[in-house]
């Protein structure tokens, strides 16, 4: 999806992750394993950078280090996937369309923002449930329910829409969901109490129950629920974005972008309801592998990266 690769020859690689907080991150383990598997000297550091405006000076410092060649590549996570858009020189086509970036690289004298979340999500969803993402010719488009509307949600919505899915976006703040839905105007509309040209609804019991009921009445297959919120992430592992009083749609697959802990409260609840549920650990590894390839121009050792992340089931 528009990902480009740059061959970099260095005696020592310096990579890192910008975000806040970062205590849960497995990225240093994953990228260190990749460097070691290819016998490359280097490091992957965590750069805890508070949200804007507090983190503005630190963001500028880190981007300056990339421009000077002191850092050879950076990842970005919550809350900077969108705040960095205006601080780079160029965006890949995917990052521009998605409106979020998660990978930074210097090409010549241009600082470029890439998005590897979208292909990472697509690759891991295919690994988890082969054939789920594909919409066959003549088939009615299934519906995916995306929880959250941040940078990761944008990558997920982009991927699903490109595959021919319909998407509904459920958020705590309706305007954020409306903004995301309006950024992808091809999405179908659901919900009588929301903006008619969007799929946004509130992440609340009544709205979700209405959506699920309308899908059942209209013969729409609600086939996938994707959590892109940080709810359930360590250390707040008891948090669950799915309202307790809402029954899960039958036969839906649940995919939780949260990867630490390995089984979130959302996944546990979904499995008790008889649904297949997967964590975002595989997506984390795949997006990291794509970023590693962008930075080095070398094939990423995905097996070693998965094992380092503890993704032994699907390694």
- Is residue 122 situated within a structural domain? no
- Is residue 315 situated within a structural domain? no
| pLDDT value of position 188 | 42
- Is residue 1 situated within a structural domain? no
Q: What is the pLDDT of residues 159-172, one digit of tens each?
A: 998 898 989 999 99
| 103/197 same-domain check | no
| 144/26 same-domain check | no
| 97/22 same-domain check | yes
Entry pTM? 0.89
Q: What is the CATH number of the domain that holds 35?
A: 3.40.50.10860
| 197/297 same-domain check | no
Mean pLDDT of the chain: 90
| 228/151 same-domain check | yes
- Give, in order, the Cα–Cα distances in Å from 142 to each of 19, 54, 181, 253: 34, 42, 17, 12
| 213/146 same-domain check | yes
HSE-up (13 A, CA, CB side) for residue 73: 31
| 269/305 same-domain check | no
- Any catalytic annotation for residue 245? no
- Is residue 35 situated within a structural domain? yes
- Is residue 210 situated within a structural domain? yes
- Is residue 3 situated within a structural domain? no
Kindly tell me if the per-residue pLDDT of 214 is higher than 60. Answer: yes
Q: What is the pLDDT of residues 121-177, one digit of tens each?
A: 999 999 999 999 998 777 888 999 999 999 999 999 999 988 989 899 999 999 999
- Is residue 8 situated within a structural domain? no
Pairwise CA distance, residues 241 & 108, whole Å: 43
Overall number of domains in the chain = 2
| 304/265 same-domain check | no
Length of the chain: 315
- Is residue 44 situated within a structural domain? yes
Residue in 43, 44, 42, 46 with CA at minimum distance from that of residue 18 = 46
> Which domain covers residue 36, as residue numbers?
13-115+285-309
- Residue in 31, 72, 80, 81 annotated catalytic: 81
Q: What is the CATH number of the domain that holds 233?
A: 3.40.50.720
């Amino acid at each position: 999806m528009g990902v480009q690769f740059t061959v970099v020859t260095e005696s020592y690689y310096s990579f890192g992750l910008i975000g806040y907080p970062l205590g849960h991150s497995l990225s240093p383990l994953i990228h260190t394993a990749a460097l070691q598997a290819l016998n490359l000297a280097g490091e992957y550091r965590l750069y805890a950078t508070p949200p804007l405006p507090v983190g503005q000076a630190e963001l500028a410092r880190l981007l300056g280090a990339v421009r000077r060649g002191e850092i050879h590549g950076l990842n970005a996570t919550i809350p900077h996937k969108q705040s960095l858009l205006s601080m780079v020189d160029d965006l890949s086509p995917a990052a521009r369309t998605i409106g979020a970036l998660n990978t930074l690289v210097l090409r010549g004298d241009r600082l470029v923002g890439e998005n590897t979340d979208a292909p990472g999500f697509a690759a891991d969803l295919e690994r988890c449930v082969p054939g789920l993402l594909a919409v066959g010719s003549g088939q009615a488009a299934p519906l995916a329910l995306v929880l959250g509307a941040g940078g990761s949600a944008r990558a997920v919505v982009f991927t699903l829409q490109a595959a021919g899915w319909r998407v509904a976006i459920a958020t705590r703040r309706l305007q954020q969901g409306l903004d995301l839905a309006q950024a992808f105007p091809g999405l179908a509309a659901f919900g009588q109490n929301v903006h008619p040209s969007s799929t946004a609804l509130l992440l609340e019991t009544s709205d979700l129950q209405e959506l699920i009921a309308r899908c059942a009445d209209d013969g729409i297959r609600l086939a996938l629920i994707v959590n892109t919120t940080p709810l359930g992430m360590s250390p707040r592992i008891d948090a669950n974005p799915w309202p307790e009083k809402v029954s899960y749609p039958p036969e839906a697959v649940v995919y939780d972008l949260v990867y630490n802990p390995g089984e979130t409260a959302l996944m546990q609840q979904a499995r008790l309801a008889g649904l297949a549920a997967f964590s975002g650990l595989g997506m984390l590894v795949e997006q990291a592998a794509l970023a590693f390839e962008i930075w080095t121009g070398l094939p990423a050792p995905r097996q070693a990266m998965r094992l380092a992340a503890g993704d032994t089931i699907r390694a």
